[in-house]
């Protein structure tokens, strides 16, 4: 069978992270920047949030009620977009539709807080809280990815530069004025792993640096200490935290940020944070919350999605948070955390290229995640941290999301109140032991099976038909393969390819794949014939006549031996102008449209008349007898057979060509041809071409 191979070429663009800029040794800090201070005003609609502490530990309270932080790093970035995309610049109706879908899922999961950068409009902070009961942590980045200094964007923040520091603090003061009285604000969070930004300037995560460059870190944390004071001078209702990279530079935090309310940390230590809670309590004597933590849903070692491993990591991490919470007898300083992250980020690995590809390239190593860790290889897949899988957009243009098993595990975990009187280490252990990811995976697995079925239904094959046809032919009067037995077969496949990428868009294409094509079909007009290569035809010299080039020797007289043959759609003559089936054409005659009647052509060519001729063998015998010397009428040819006097050929002088002889032929017709008006014999009907009747039943000549 013939095969059709489609080759798709994918081009990958590799990006290069620019090297850090700035001096090797930062300059000495100058005088503290001047920050404008405005009087504090309290809006009765804003919530009062505080960190409560007693002998049993720390906990967060909102308007006097205990508030364990069941948080999520939430964001909306569809497939094909990257960090430049902003939901908040879209139309209001679209924003509402997105929030309704995603906040409903978050609320049903048990999430009560989300982390947002400081570009979220205050109206949506209130909208989310009012409609879904979810609070927002406002997160100014404090120059993590660049600083706007006097209207110019500086990509690499120098925390020792007075102008950079002043620009950051002035911008922060404006943000405090913007959000401090907004209902739904839970707290302030400063930066995002800015301590890691001291060592490189790109967004992409790499192997975490060590404790070098303490001098630069001092400038960073001294600025963060001033930022805490800037907020507290303007907002007394909301606590202030930081999003530090793990516990790096914790001693500098203790020394330079004494007014910090909560130590926030992005923690990726695997299933356990080990001594993190104790170290924070010992060095800072403050509560701690995880500003990022979790696990990716891709097994880098096996090269496949592993949503069960992700769910198991999160189950163990939250069990430890519960056991370190207020009143549980251990560090008792765990406030909760913000899971990283809500949905997969298809843009995160390369950030500028392949935005529509769910990349499986691991970007940094972490031995704490032992399930897929191989020494010397990366195992953390930045694009696969989503609690939900990201899908294509629906008819409304909203990205589809599918909760993974981790969603259902956390939903079950959050049902326990860590501050309830009945909650103790034993009940915590029993509660989490009863949560089995394998039993909660059915929802995700069935949903993914349905999603794969939907993807497959977008392209489907229908009307599949296989045609296998064999032909066995034998004939003593065959003109193409005389007196031979021939067996051949035809292979043909028909199918339709239907495309429906989305509702309202539908297309269909029909295909026929041809394998072998039989060469001995009785009916030579059949569909698969188009799959055979065309065979060149050479007219025999006996009937070349007017097609012979002028001056070519031989011309019409150069008739050579050869059998008459029939080709679909035309009739050819054999030696001496002898027609097939009793006809006398001198060039191929086309069949009539819709029937096999041979129609008359100009220049005296012939067509059959009613009547029946005998078989081909008898015809040849009779012609042979009449062409003998001294035969009837003194000459041979089909004219004698049809009862007409033959037109004798005019002898052509040797020095003249066949073309010149045509011009001098008597009566204006070509030598050797009978004028059409002389052929009126009633027995010329029913002439056969290689065994196939030349006229359909009921067809009549003119």
Tell me the residue ranges of DSSP E strands in 515-622. 566-567, 570-571
The larger pLDDT score, comparing residue 217 to residue 614, is at 217
Confidence of residue 523 (pLDDT cuts 50, 70, 90): low
pTM of the model: 0.63
- My answer on whether omega of the bond before 341 falls inside 30° of 0, hence cis, is yes
Tell me: pLDDT of 529 over 80: no
Question: How many Cα atoms within 13 Å fall on the side-chain side of residue 200?
Answer: 12
Confidence of residue 668 (pLDDT cuts 50, 70, 90): very low
Residue with tokens 């927002």: 136
Tell me: pLDDT of 273 over 50: yes
Contact partners, residue 140, CB within 8 Å, separation at least 6: 117, 118, 171, 172, 175, 188, 189, 190, 191, 227
pLDDT for 525: 59
Tell me: pLDDT of 650 over 70: no
Domain spans, the chain? 67-454, 458-531, 539-702
Tell me the residue ranges of DSSP E strands in 267-387. 288-292, 298-299, 304-305, 334-339
DSSP letters spanning 419-477: TSTT--HHHHHHHHHT--HHHH-HHHHHHHHHHHHHHHHTEEEEEEEEEEEEEEEE-TT
Question: Over the chain, what is the mean pLDDT?
Answer: 76
Tell me: pLDDT of 251 over 70: yes
- Give the integer Cα–Cα distance in Å for 640 and 435: 106
- What number is the average pLDDT over the span 254-265? 98
Confidence of residue 470 (pLDDT cuts 50, 70, 90): confident
- Give the integer Cα–Cα distance in Å for 571 and 582: 11
Which of the given ranges, 4-8, 313-317, 544-548, has the highest pLDDT on average? 313-317
Lowest average pLDDT, out of 325-339, 374-388, 476-490, goes to 476-490
DSSP letters spanning 78-111: -TT--TT--GGGS-HHHHHHHHHHHHHHHHHHT-
C-alpha to C-alpha distances, 398 to 47, 83, 108, 178, nearest whole angstrom: 32, 17, 20, 29
293 within 8 A of 267, measured Cβ to Cβ:
yes
| Three-state DSSP state, 565 | coil
237 within 8 A of 47, measured Cβ to Cβ:
yes
- Strands 485-502 and 459-474, by their bridges, are antiparallel
Lowest average pLDDT, out of 136-145, 392-401, 515-524, goes to 515-524
Q: pLDDT of 365-409, one tens digit each?
A: 999 999 999 999 999 999 999 999 999 999 999 999 999 999 999
The larger pLDDT score, comparing residue 203 to residue 428, is at 428
Confidence of residue 700 (pLDDT cuts 50, 70, 90): very low
- Report the 10 Å Cβ neighbour count for 46: 17
| Three-state DSSP state, 381 | coil
Residue with tokens 């590809």: 357
What is the third-level CATH fold of 67-454? TIM Barrel (3.20.20)
C-alpha to C-alpha distances, 614 to 617, 618, 645, nearest whole angstrom: 8, 6, 21
- Give the integer Cα–Cα distance in Å for 326 and 43: 30
Q: What share of the chain has pLDDT > 70, as a percent?
A: 62
The larger pLDDT score, comparing residue 443 to residue 230, is at 230
Confidence of residue 186 (pLDDT cuts 50, 70, 90): very high
- What number is the average pLDDT over the span 533-554? 50
- Give the integer Cα–Cα distance in Å for 575 and 563: 7
Tell me: pLDDT of 277 over 50: yes
93 within 8 A of 148, measured Cβ to Cβ:
no
- Give the integer Cα–Cα distance in Å for 484 and 687: 24
Q: pLDDT of 203-250, one tens digit each?
A: 443 455 555 578 899 999 999 999 999 999 999 999 999 999 999 999
pLDDT for 288: 99
C-alpha to C-alpha distances, 433 to 13, 253, 272, nearest whole angstrom: 46, 36, 16
- Give the integer Cα–Cα distance in Å for 274 and 276: 6
Tell me: pLDDT of 521 over 80: no
Q: pLDDT of 287-323, one tens digit each?
A: 999 999 999 999 999 999 999 999 999 999 999 999 9
The DSSP bridge partners found for residue 115 are: 73, 137
CA-derived radius of gyration, the chain: 45
- Report the 10 Å Cβ neighbour count for 521: 17
């Amino acid at each position: 069978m013939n095969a059709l191979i489609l080759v798709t070429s994918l081009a990958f663009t590799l990006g290069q992270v620019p090297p850090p800029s700035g001096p090797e040794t930062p300059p000495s800090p100058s005088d503290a920047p001047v920050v404008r201070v405005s009087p504090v005003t309290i809006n009765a609609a804003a919530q009062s949030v505080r960190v409560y502490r007693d002998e049993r530990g720390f906990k967060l309270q909102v308007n006097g009620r205990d508030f364990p932080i069941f948080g999520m790093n939430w964001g909306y970035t569809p497939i094909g977009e990257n960090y430049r995309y902003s939901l908040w610049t879209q139309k209001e109706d679209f924003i509402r539709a997105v929030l309704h879908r995603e906040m409903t899922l978050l609320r049903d999961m048990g999430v009560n807080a989300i982390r947002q950068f400081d570009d979220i409009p205050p109206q949506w902070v209130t909208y989310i809280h009012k409609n879904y009961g979810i609070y927002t942590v406002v997160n100014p980045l404090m120059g993590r990815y660049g600083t706007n200094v006097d209207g110019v964007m500086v990509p690499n923040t120098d925390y020792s530069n007075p102008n950079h520091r002043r620009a950051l603090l002035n911008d922060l003061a404006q943000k405090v004025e913007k959000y401090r009285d907004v209902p739904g604000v839970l707290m302030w969070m400063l930066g995002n792993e800015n301590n890691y930004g001291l060592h490189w300037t790109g967004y992409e995560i790499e192997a975490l640096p060590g404790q070098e460059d303490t001098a630069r870190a001092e400038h960073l944390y001294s600025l963060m200490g001033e930022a805490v004071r800037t907020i507290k001078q303007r907002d007394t209702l909301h606590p202030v935290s930081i999003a530090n990279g793990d516990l790096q530079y914790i001693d500098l935090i203790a020394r330079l940020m004494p007014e910090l309310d909560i130590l926030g940390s992005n923690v990726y230590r695997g299933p356990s944070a080990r001594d993190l809670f104790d170290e924070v309590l010992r060095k800072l004597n403050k509560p701690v919350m995880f500003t990022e933590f979790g696990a990716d849903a891709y097994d880098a070692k096996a090269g496949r999605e592993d949503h069960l491993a992700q769910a198991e990591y999160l189950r163990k991490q939250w069990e430890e948070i519960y056991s370190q919470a207020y009143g549980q007898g251990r560090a008792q300083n765990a406030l909760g955390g913000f899971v990283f992250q809500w949905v997969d980020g298809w843009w995160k690995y390369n950030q500028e290229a392949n935005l529509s590809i769910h990349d499986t390239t691991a970007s940094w190593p972490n031995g704490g995640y032992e399930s897929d860790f191989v020494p010397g290889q990366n195992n953390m897949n930045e694009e696969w941290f989503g609690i939900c899988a990201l899908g294509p957009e629906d008819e409304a243009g909203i990205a589809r999301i599918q909760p993974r098993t981790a969603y259902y595990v956390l939903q079950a975990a959050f049902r326990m109140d860590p501050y309830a009187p009945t909650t103790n280490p034993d009940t915590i252990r029993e509660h989490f032991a009863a949560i089995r990811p394998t039993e909660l995976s059915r929802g995700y697995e069935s949903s993914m099976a349905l999603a794969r079925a939907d993807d497959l239904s977008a392209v489907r094959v229908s009307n599949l038909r296989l045609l296998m046809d064999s032909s066995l032919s034998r004939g003593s009067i065959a003109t193409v393969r005389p007196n031979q037995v021939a067996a051949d077969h035809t292979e043909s496949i028909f199918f339709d390819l239907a495309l429906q990428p989305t509702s309202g868009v539908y297309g269909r294409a029909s295909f026929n794949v041809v394998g072998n094509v039989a060469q001995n079909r009785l009916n030579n007009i059949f569909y698969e014939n188009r799959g055979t290569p065309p065979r060149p035809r050479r007219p025999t010299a006996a009937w070349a006549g007017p097609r012979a080039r002028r001056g070519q020797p031989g011309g019409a007289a150069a008739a050579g031996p050869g059998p008459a043959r029939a080709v679909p759609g035309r009739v050819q003559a054999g030696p001496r102008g002898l027609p097939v089936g009793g006809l006398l054409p001198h060039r191929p005659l086309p069949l009539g449209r819709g029937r096999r009647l041979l129609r008359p052509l100009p220049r005296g060519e012939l067509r059959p008349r009613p009547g029946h001729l005998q078989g081909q063998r008898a015809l040849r015998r009779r012609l042979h007898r009449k062409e003998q010397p001294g035969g009837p009428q003194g000459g041979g040819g089909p004219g004698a057979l049809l009862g007409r006097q033959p037109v004798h050929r005019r002898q052509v002088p040797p020095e003249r060509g066949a073309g010149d002889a045509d011009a001098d032929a008597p009566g204006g017709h070509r030598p050797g041809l009978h004028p059409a008006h002389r052929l009126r014999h009633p027995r010329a009907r029913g002439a056969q071409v290689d065994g196939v009747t030349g006229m359909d039943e009921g067809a009549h000549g003119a």
